[in-house]
Structure 1
Amino acid sequence: MVILIGGASHTGKTLLAQRLMERYRYPVLSIDLLKMGLIRSGQTALTPEDDDLLIPYLWGIVREIIKTAVENRQNLIVEGCYIPFDWEDDFDSSYLEQIEYVCLIMSRRYLEDHGDDVICYENVIERRLIDEVDISGLIEENGQNLASCQQHGLRYHLIDGDYDVGEPEVAPLSGSDLDAAAKLFRNTVHAVNSRDYAPEQLDAWVPRDKRRLTQIAEKLSGQQTVGLKECGILVGFGSLDDKGDIDMLFVHKDRQKQGIAKVILRELERLALERGKQVVSTFASVTARPFFERMGYAVERENVVNRDGVSLVNYLMSKQLP
């Protein structure tokens, strides 16, 4: 998986990248560091002020690094101001399935109300050579970035109130979140559930073709959903079916055993209670069974599902809600 973090200066890209590095254990590529290395080593005659020329120059290099990482199944976080808003045009679908993007954007209100904070924290992660911060310029640049994200249908995280970079947000899924959930579901099953299911079972459970991802997204659109995101990046989700029982609960393959599933499950149980459920049920995989048992669920029976002639074992489990 490759995570791209874009946005104007001072929006917290570097801090978010470092926090995600700590959580995901992905290496980080700073486009700004790459820029200065190329300039200071004499590899280019461009200067730090040549922004219009630096974007195509640096992106041409970063783009190929991303492709190489995807082809080698390597994980990477890329952060910087030099990611063009039409970046998706440079990758075919096989690459795009392995790339997540978020643009950090500060609203006019946030910059007007927190300008002193922006100035105060500008050197927390990296020592900047320029001390002056142009708040009016940042307002204009962030406004342009918001318009560009909306024009290109890109995911963005709008910083409009109290802000702590990377803090989790729990909310229903909608729009592009549904596609992200379907992709997370497929990648998690093939990575995490592989210790309990054979390859042919995983392929029957979640085929790798795009049609299956579309079906999952459509199913989720008709269910009550809960997603946990970090600055717009989905790290886990769950859903209730039309009866108010738990249908899906999956966490990003690189964020296992960090309490994310527990947060999502508790929210699903709260929603089930609101719908009048006294006992909530789910069909848990062999992999998920120990987690649900720790959360107070009991096995009622073993269940065998047939998918395209392939048998899959799961367990009907239930819990009395308080």
Structure 2
Amino acid sequence: MLNQRLSAALSVSRVFRAAPLRSFTLSSRLQQKSAAPETPELSSKKPLSRIAVGVNTPPKATATPSGSLEFASWKAIVLLLVTGGGFTWFFSREKRRLAIQKEAEANRGVGKPLIGGPFNLVDHNGNTFTEEKLKGKFSLVYFGFTHCPDICPDELDKMGLMLDELKKDNINLQPIFITCDPARDSPEIIKEYLSEFHEDLIGLTGEYNEIKSVCKRYRVYFSTPPDLKPGQDYLVDHSIFFYLMDPEGNFIDALGRQYEADGAVAKIKEHVASYLPADQRQQKKEAWYGFLFK
């Protein structure tokens, strides 16, 4: 009986001794649990939309790389500049061409030409040369004389430069030298004189009355000293111009000493590029835009 009581007391003692250990273990777990940060639970509900019900949402803009936009703007600017420059160049050229045509038409005159006309002379080879030989190509006519000390040689040198420069653009003028001093300028003398300047030059002479008539038709002033004795040396005073004639033998421009060779070449090129035959000029005058040529 005593043994049974001692066994029971030992069992109770063991229980009380083990209890603090379990209590410590449980409190440690509670402390660890309380020390751990609380993680908020994820809500299963979706957030409310801020867009009002019934309002159409704008479509999302498609993102375009900034480089593509800059390249497109650059191309548009270049295209605008090129197009604008092209139109400006075209209208400027046409405006200039129209002005040259009107200038040439005014110089041709209506009916009888203001400058130029029929003549009958002899060339440096002794052959007859009339106004008909001015037709078919542009001609450049100069009046002078072989005994001229300075002006005529300078102008004939300039004419040679003009002819060579124009040939580079396939413009072949017919250069003509008409003497104002037929008493001393025979065909043989003119031929020798012109050989020093340009191989294309054609020299013309004739009777005094014929020379006087052609000078009058071309509005060329010339004079010789009165009361000349045979064999006496003298100078001839004359006007100084290059007369540009079109392929129909009509006068279109007079180029004076204010033109250097390059300036005269540029002017002649404009006339050649703007030239229209008589039938085409008439058609333009009768067209609805004919007022432009008046």
Structure ranking higher in helix proportion: 2
- Interval of TM-score (by shorter of Structure 1 and Structure 2): under 0.3
The higher radius of gyration belongs to 2
Structure scoring higher RCO (CA < 8 A, sep ≥ 6) equals: 2
Structure ranking higher in strand proportion: 1
TM-score relative to the length of structure 2? 0.19
